Each structure stands twice: as structure tokens, then as C-alpha cells.
Structure 1
Amino acid sequence: MRKLLALTAVVVFSTTTGYAADLVTPVAGSAYDWSGIYAGAHIGVATGTVSATDFTQPSGGFFTDLVPAGTEGFHFRDTNIAGGVHVGAQYQWDQFVFGGEASWTATGIRKTIVSPYFPDTDTETGRIQHYATVVGKVGYAFDRFLVYAKGGYAGGEVGFKARDNDALVTYEQNEWHNGYALGLGVDYALTDKLSLGIDYTHINLGSKTSTGNNVFDDGSLGDNPETYKVKARADAVMARLSYKFGGGF
């Protein structure tokens, strides 16, 4: 009873002195703060597209003289599992959150097709082995929810292989491609340290032109080197789990 009377007296005093609002105003800093350094892992699915166009002169094509250079192409599309790790830092100012993040992701994107030019003997394979991103992020926090957009650099290892199964000859290239990444995501702070999120990223790895020799199974080189221009891009949706170190900056 004494406690109730004391609390009533405090309320009356605060009301008469004009400070009643202070009793219902949240204490500054009581909302979740997204500031800090974080690291985590992500896993999901990625759909990748790879195209390879032969620029060998005077004629194009993997062992064909019938198709002009720059017109023969092979196209690959595959959806597969992907996953990796990420690390970043961010700072919250009012409800806005600014930061940067680096990530590395391995993918199972790999597709083998039968050659439309020599379907009885030739096969071609395109793949995206892994990619990395370094992006800037800007977000808006609703207490423990954070919605963000991101953009920046993307690079990845892209492979293309053409195989003549009768002649037992292979042309292959594995090159690092450079491009850009754009994306959106949302995170939810499960605890003061752990957050769970969902992230979408579009990765454009640009193109790379490479010349290589045809190789026989015994390791010797064939007579006709090939030049292919290879393009690659991917769209990835990932579930993310992150751990925040410290209490902010």
C-alpha cells in the first residue's frame, strides 16, 4: 500500500510540474542498435547463366568451318545450391544504417549440353565455381528489423569446356571475371548478438575473352587454337546467420 501511495505521489508531482511525458518516453538507446562488426554464413540457391561465343578466325566453331566467327554460341543455365561466408561493419545513425560487407560464395552451378553443331560427338560445359562481392550497404531500421539495399564489386571464377568425344580432344578455360553486384535484404535481430536474414543478390560477372589450345588426351596440343568470349551472371537468394561483435562503434 505504501508503494502504491508513493507511486501516486510521483505521478501527481510529475504532472503538476510538466514532466509527465518523461514517464512514458522510452529511455534513449533502449531500441536495438545495429552498429558493430559482424560475421556469419549464408546458404541458399543460385541460378546462373553462362554463354560462350567462338571468335576463332577465319572460321568459328569448335571443330567446324561452316559457321562464321562470332556467331556460334553455347548457352548454359542451371539452378543449384550455393553457400559461403560474409563479414561486414555498419553504423546506425538515428534509424538509418550505413555499412560495407565482403562475401565469398561457392556454387554448384554447372551445365553440360550436347553441341547443336555436332550432336553425335561434341559436348560443352559451362559453370560458375565461386564468386566474391565487396559492397556498400544502406538500410533503415525498425528496432530489431533492418531492411537494406546494397551494391558494389563482384568477381568470380567462370569455366567453359568443349569436348570432342570421338577425337578425344578438349578445349577448356577457367578465368576470373570482374563485374558488379546489386541486392536487397532484410535482417532480424534474434538476440543482441545473433541476427537471421534473407538476401537477394544479382551478380553480373561481365565477359572475358581467352585463347587456348585444343588438348588431346595424351596432353599434346592440337593444331587449331580456339578463342572464346564467355559471359556469366547469377541471381542468388540466401538465408543468412550473423554474429555481431561488441556493442557498436
Structure 2
Amino acid sequence: MTMHRKAGLAGVLTLCGGLLSLAPAGAADMPSSRLPPAPALPAFYSWTGVYLGVQAGSSWGQERTALSDTLGRAFNGAAFRQSSDSALGGAHAGFNYQAGSIVFGIEGDVEALDVGETLIAPGIAARVRRDWQASVRGRVGFALDRFMIYATGGAAFTDFDYQLQNTATGLAESADRSKTGWTAGAGVNFAYTDNLILGVEYRYTDFGKLNYAASGPLLGLAIRQESTTHALRASVAYKF
């Protein structure tokens, strides 16, 4: 009887030992409770950097020219309003620095255009032209990955070219006068690739009032010039 009990107990112990030896292998075969690592998030586009580009577009507005003469000639007080519509094109360069979603920048541009009008008053013909303009501006933008909307504003520069002739005597003189004004607007940029940036921009420019007094054969003639323009541009730039 005792021997049967011992044999039974030995069998139970042997069975338990076998089960314990199988436990690690069974646990190893069970699926892990750990989740796979999350995929890396795509990196957002960085607007920080130097860029160079070209732009083209159209400007429209009005130039106002008033003629007066201290010698009392017939055209004293004559005033003209003429169109300043013109195609334009040029180049620009700038630098952006991105802090979070806000982008700070500075940009300069120079453009060729063709604004000109001949004014005829009794006794005088005046030709007023502008063939270039430039600006230096600050920019503040809000970036949405590869899209950025921005506002811009700063100083604008141009040159007025005067060709004046007394139609009675044939005497003539010419002069160039530089003028500084201001410009402001807004636009949107899109990073088509990591280096290629496309853009569209609207700007308003005001050159204020320019007074010119003839000092040659047309001594006594005074010209007062006022110029305001709107412009819409498309641009492409390369960011380094």
C-alpha cells in the first residue's frame, strides 16, 4: 500500500516537473503585448534661408502732373491726370527666418517698367517718364507647412525723367529726379520643392509729391508730380 502511494506521488512530481519545463517555451510562443514603434512623422518644411528669384506682372494707377510758372505764362496752373498702367518685371532677393509657424523676413527688389505721358499746355510740351522702381521691405508670414501667407511693407524708390520744351521758342531742357515713397501689400508663397518657391503678391505704392523747378531755358517753370500705383506680381525663387 505504501509502495503504491510512493509510486503515485513520484508520478505526480514527474508530471509537474514536465509541465514546468514546458512553461517557458509556451510563454515564448505567446504574442507580445508591446505595440510596434510608431512611424516617424514627416518633417515640416522650413522657410529659413536665403533666396533669389525673378518676378513679372502688371501695375496700374494714375500720375498727376501740375504745371505752373512764376513768369505768368499761359499754362500757369495747368493740371493733368495720366494713366500709369504698365507691364513690369525684375529680380528680387531676400532672407527668411522661421520661429514656429511665424516667418520673419527681409526682401529687396528692382523692376523695369514703362510709364510715360506727353503733356501739352499752351506754349509748352512736357514728357514725364518712369522706367524703373525698387523697394526694400520687411515681411511677416504665417506658415502652413509648404504654404505661407504674408504681409509686407517698406520703402520704395523710383526716378522721374522730365523732357520739357517751349513750343514757341524751341528751347528745351531735361532733368532726372529721384523719389522715395512707401509700399505695402500681401501675398502667398508655395514651396513647390525644397528649393523652388512660387509666389503671387499684390502691393500698393505711393511716391508722394515731387516738386521740380526748371533752372535752364525754361526758368520759372514749376512741376508738381504725384504718383500712386497698384501692382500684381507672380514670382519664382530658388531657396539655398
TM class, shorter-chain normalised?
Answer: 0.7 to 0.9
Equivalent residue in structure 1 for 2:191, among 172, 189, 192: 189
**2:222 is matched with which residue?**
227
Counterpart amino acid of residue 65 in structure 1: A
**2:180 is matched with which residue?**
178
**1:57 is matched with which residue?**
70
Q: Are the aligned partners of 1:49 and 1:78 in contact in 2 as well (CA < 8 Å)?
A: yes
**1:104 is matched with which residue?**
110
Q: Matches of 2:113 and 2:128 in 1, distance apart?
A: 13
2:41 is aligned with 1:26: yes
Q: Are the aligned partners of 1:197 and 1:240 in contact in 2 as well (CA < 8 Å)?
A: yes
2:217 is aligned with 1:241: no
2:218 is aligned with 1:206: no
Aligned-residue offset at 1:236: 1.4
DSSP 3-state at the match of 1:233: strand
DSSP 3-state at the match of 2:35: helix
Q: Matches of 1:40 and 1:48 in 2, distance apart?
A: 26
DSSP 3-state at the match of 2:69: coil
Superposed CA offset, 1:215-237 (max 9, x none): xxxxxx35x43121212222211
Q: Matches of 2:137 and 2:71 in 1, distance apart?
A: 42
Q: Matches of 1:208 and 1:142 in 2, distance apart?
A: 42
Equivalent residue in structure 1 for 2:60, among 23, 44, 47: 47
DSSP 3-state at the match of 1:14: coil
Counterpart amino acid of residue 236 in structure 1: A
Aligned-residue offset at 1:168: 2.4
Q: How does 1:79-228 map to 2 (within 5 A)?
A: 79-113=85-119, 115=120, 117-118=121-122, 122-165=124-167, 167-213=169-215, 221=217, 224-228=219-223
Superposed CA offset, 1:9-61 (max 9, x none): 78x5238xxxxxx826725xx011111111111111112422222343253xx
Name stretches of at least 5 consecutive residues in structure 2 with no aligned partner: 1-30
Aligned-residue offset at 1:152: 0.8
Q: Matches of 2:55 and 2:182 in 1, distance apart?
A: 19
DSSP 3-state at the match of 1:26: coil
Q: Matches of 1:154 and 1:81 in 2, distance apart?
A: 18
Aligned-residue offset at 1:178: 0.9
Deviates more, 1:187-196 or 1:71-80: 71-80
Rg (Cα) greater in structure? 2
Counterpart amino acid of residue 233 in structure 2: M
Aligned-residue offset at 1:194: 0.7
**Identity across matched positions, percent:** 25
**1:19 is matched with which residue?**
none
Aligned-residue offset at 1:105: 1.1
Counterpart amino acid of residue 38 in structure 2: L
